[in-house]
Amino acid sequence: MLRCGLLDEPQKGGTVPVDITPAVPEPETIVAPPRGLRSDRIHSQVLEATAALLREGGYSAATMDAIAQRAGVSKVTLYKHWPSRTAVAAKAFGLMMADALPQPNTGTSAGDLTEQVLHVSEFYASDLGGVFAQLIAACVEDPAGAAYFGEFFLAGRRAAVAELWARAVERGDARPGVDVNDVIDTLFGALLFRLLIGHQPLSAEAAASLADVALRGTLLPTAKG
């Protein structure tokens, strides 16, 4: 009825040898926006305006009317470039977050992955983490938006973690036979759970504790720092 189908990452080349291909077929929901010089200008104006609105007032402030006005663009145009409000917001959020999280490099597999979990936990606990939760929520009812969120935000995040995992595999720290997607979902699913439900804190200690549990299940005992 309302399954999402969020992820269809562009898979841009051999940087990531590990397979993170989505198991579900790629939806054709991402609109090909009109081409041309004007289109490019509009595209960036809209995304900047949306990002600003998201920062200032969260998803609920990023109304189509508000975006249109702030970007100096008409609503009709918005709907010609994106299939829904969620899609605009998702793409804007993705670009805004593009290089927010630095790739950790501690020298050890456990260290890298733990630090990544800490970064994400911190992000979730921030204001933008709230926006992230709102977007996840919005995507539940809007598969079209979900495709954008997968493409422009989630794919990048997953690729980053997949790269860390690939390093661990190279180092011989990974427990054999463990799927990278299981690693990612186990490491960050718990954080997402807490972000959405809010039943448990998202503190650094809590994150470290969760990372420890998850890494014990995925790395070899010898890899534990």
Partner DNA sequence: AGCTAAGCGAGACGGTACGTCAAGTCTTTCA
Partner DNA sequence: TGAAAGACTTGACGTACCGTCTCGCTTAGCT
Q: What is the 3-state secondary structure (H, E, C) of the chain?
A: CCCCCCCCCCCCCCCCCCCCCCCCCCCCCCCCCCCCHHHHHHHHHHHHHHHHHHHHHCHHHCCHHHHHHHHCCCHHHHHHHCCCHHHHHHHHHHHHCCCCCCCCCCCCHHHHHHHHHHHHHHHHHCHHHHHHHHHHHHHHCCHHHHHHHHHHHHHHHHHHHHHHHHHHHHHCCECCCCCHHHHHHHHHHHHHHHHHHCCCCCCHHHHHHHHHHHHHHHECHHHCC
Please give the single-letter amino acid code of residue 83: P
Residue from 19, 40, 141, 170 touching a second copy (CB under 8 A): that is 141
Query: Judged by CB under 8 A, which of 86, 109, 121, 134 binds a second copy?
Result: 134
CB of 88 to a second copy, least distance (A): 18
Q: At what angle do helices 37-57 and 64-71 cross, to 10 degrees?
A: 120
Region from 28-36, 97-105, 115-123, 216-224 binding a second copy, contact rule CB under 8 A = 216-224
For position 79 contacting DNA by CB under 7 A, the verdict is yes
69 near a second copy, judged by CB under 8 A: no
* Cβ distance to a second copy smaller for residue 46 or 90: 90
The helix-helix angle for 180-197 and 204-218 (nearest 10°) equals: 150
Among residues 5, 11, 27, 63, which is the contact residue for DNA, using CB under 7 A?
63
CB 160 within 8 A of CB 123: no
How many CB atoms neighbour CB 205 within 10 A? 10
User: From the list DNA, a second copy, none, which binds 91 (C-beta under 5 to 8 Å, kind-based)?
Assistant: none
Does residue number 22 form part of the binding site for a second copy (CB under 8 A)? yes
- In the list 5, 22, 48, 64, the residue contacting DNA (rule: CB under 7 A) is 64
Give the binding range for DNA (CB under 7 A) out of 29-37, 126-134, 149-157, 207-215. Answer: 29-37
Told to check if 186 binds DNA by CB under 7 A, we report no
> Which of 10, 19, 21, 75 contacts DNA by CB under 7 A?
75
Q: Is 85 in the site for DNA (CB under 7 A)?
A: yes
Of 46 and 116, which has the nearer Cβ to a second copy? 116
Q: Which residues bind a second copy (CB under 8 A)?
A: 1-7, 22-24, 58, 60, 127, 130-131, 133-134, 136-141, 146, 150, 154, 158, 175, 178-179, 181-183, 185-186, 188-194, 196-201, 206, 209-210, 212-218
